[in-house]
Structure 1
């Protein structure tokens, strides 16, 4: 997980959209600021995504550009950008334990969940011991109570009730490196890899592994969850990102398809798991 915030690019894109409206009206930034009664730097900051426009700003912007018909669309887009990014300080107000239950309704309502991970085993596929090790790292990084680790891991196990039921169907893609990142030590990793092999036999669960050393048609990237073709979620070191924008969803659907074409399944995937086991035993 990197420390970049994807919502920043959305802010810049929204600012560019507003700039294009201004340019279509044949107004310079100085002229536009004068008509709005603003300082000229405000226009520049909004267009570069460094200042968030208020809803009143957006209404005035559209009206000044004779684009009143776009007001509702622009306000809706601006509201979604505000909801895209949640830093971990805000995310963890309810604590690690309760956080594990927040998406249960989303899981239950989804028909197919697509998951890509490049760094670690996804939560749905984790053993209790692996989850505890991961929560331990997370708690120390964010200064969270170590006493909550066991309960948080146990609560994460509750999501496994969806596996193998067909409600939803699961499609997992993992980089082989995610199987070799030593989380919790050799014993924990050995148990985790064995559990992965067991899960692969469940109905309505597909697990693909992208082998190390394979010639890439698409490079590895940040992990993500796609819920049907409606919602995207990603986690980063400093927070969580989500979006329901159709253009973003379509982009990540293409990414998932491209990554899937590089993956192996079935017996070949089991061989990758055993290869990861061998690498860990050699460390």
Structure 2
């Protein structure tokens, strides 16, 4: 089932562009007239109205003032900032290091009752050990060209994972492709410790751990990207360069459907533990 991770962000940008275009038309201004009033080239007006260039808060205030609609500016600015938050480059979010990026998820985690996480090649962040997380985050820091605070970022990641051990009604459903057990992150000891941790965390009462075997035949669903579903309200998709947040109900429903189809392909309990044990033995 192919899923586009960017259309929610684009839809939100288009809504802002549509609102600005309607203001211009209601004011009786042409594209050139609006540009003249704002002091920029008419091509910029076209790019903004066609959602090719996101307007800055100053752009929106100038636009609304030119259309004699200054009171509308703040609502449009808020909508524009929200649209841009749906697609955020990792490099921009991690420019001061990765520790703060890990900490930024705490409030979302606390507000979520049902976590559904699917990963293709990596162990999910909530299930990572210190050595595995540190190796992974340090690699990411080098790739992004941001400060390498892998040790501190890994500690922050483990700290936020404590939410799985807290009393309450939260539920955690993890689906891993078997390949995630085989791709070695860090040295052999770090990988063995990570796989051993999966054996123990999978027994937690609030956790369901499923593994989709590599030998699964005639799969009805293929999803290329790692994604997390928070309740039924938000999907977070991890790309190489960016994080895409999806809150459009129809798209959220599509990811939930894909997750449920994948869930039925997975093995659990003794079968899942056997796959993990075989991966540990392969390290020797």
TM-score, length of structure 1 as denominator length: 0.76
CA separation of 1:187 and 1:40: change in aligned 2, threshold 3 A:
same
User: By how many angstroms is 1:187 displaced?
Assistant: 1.8
Instruction: Name the SS for the 1:93 alignment partner.
Output: coil
User: By how many angstroms is 1:40 displaced?
Assistant: 9.2
Aligned equivalents of 1:212, 1:246: Cα separation in 2: 31
In structure 1, the partner of 2:97 is 95
Greater displacement, 150-159 / 88-97: 88-97
- The answer to whether the 8 Å contact 2:175/2:209 transfers is yes
**Runs of 5+ consecutive residues of structure 2 not aligned to the other structure:** 22-29, 65-73
Instruction: Name the SS for the 1:257 alignment partner.
Output: helix
**Runs of 5+ consecutive residues of structure 1 not aligned to the other structure:** 23-31, 60-71
Aligned equivalents of 1:228, 1:90: Cα separation in 2: 27
In structure 1, the partner of 2:247 is 244
User: By how many angstroms is 1:86 displaced?
Assistant: 1.3
Aligned equivalents of 2:252, 2:176: Cα separation in 1: 20
In structure 1, the partner of 2:207 is 205
Instruction: Report the number of matched residues.
Output: 265
User: By how many angstroms is 1:76 displaced?
Assistant: 7.5
Greater displacement, 158-167 / 262-271: 158-167
In structure 1, the partner of 2:261 is 258
Instruction: Name the SS for the 2:229 alignment partner.
Output: strand
In structure 1, the partner of 2:71 is none
Aligned equivalents of 1:255, 1:166: Cα separation in 2: 27
- The answer to whether the 8 Å contact 2:5/2:246 transfers is no
Instruction: Name the SS for the 2:200 alignment partner.
Output: helix
Q: Does 1:116 align with 2:118?
A: yes
In structure 1, the partner of 2:170 is 168
Greater displacement, 94-103 / 35-44: 35-44
User: By how many angstroms is 1:37 displaced?
Assistant: 8.2
Q: Structure 2 matches for 1:133-212, cutoff 5 A?
A: 133-146=135-148, 148-164=149-165, 165-212=167-214
Instruction: Name the SS for the 1:172 alignment partner.
Output: strand
In structure 1, the partner of 2:52 is 50
CA deviation digits over 1:59-117, x for unaligned, max 9?
Answer: 8xxxxxxxxxxxx9998865542221111232013421222211112111211111111
TM-score, length of structure 2 as denominator length: 0.76
User: By how many angstroms is 1:192 displaced?
Assistant: 0.9
In structure 2, the partner of 1:66 is none
CA deviation digits over 1:34-72, x for unaligned, max 9?
Answer: 89889997787567643346758998xxxxxxxxxxxx9
CA separation of 1:220 and 1:186: change in aligned 2, threshold 3 A:
farther
User: By how many angstroms is 1:239 displaced?
Assistant: 2.0
CA RMSD of aligned residues (A): 3.7
CA separation of 1:280 and 1:73: change in aligned 2, threshold 3 A:
farther
Instruction: Name the SS for the 2:243 alignment partner.
Output: strand
In structure 2, the partner of 1:234 is 237
